[in-house]
Amino acid sequence: MKEALVVLGMHRSGTSFLVGALSALGHALPRDRQPGGADNRHGHFEPGAVVALNDLILAAGGGR
């Protein structure tokens, strides 16, 4: 049975750092993770599908 380790948290709370550390310990990263940008040059480690789902949830609640 395959297992998944999911890291959830608010933005700018250290989740990318934690996932990077877990990766260094041998955990696999998502294949379609978000690229880095000005605020995080190493990448965000979130799969695109999770980002899209989060955007839908935020929009449904009146967020952005």
Domain residue spans of the chain: 15-60
User: 59 exposed, middle or buried (CB, 10 Å; 0-12, 13-18, 19+)?
Assistant: exposed
Question: Whole-model pTM above 0.75?
Answer: no
The pLDDT tens digits of the residues spanning 8-44 come to 888 788 888 899 899 999 999 888 888 888 877 877 8
pLDDT at residue 23, rounded to an integer? 93
The pLDDT tens digits of the residues spanning 40-58 come to 787 788 888 888 898 899 8
pLDDT at residue 21, rounded to an integer? 94
Give Cβ neighbours of residue 22 (< 8 Å, ≥ 6 apart).
5, 7
pLDDT at residue 25, rounded to an integer? 96
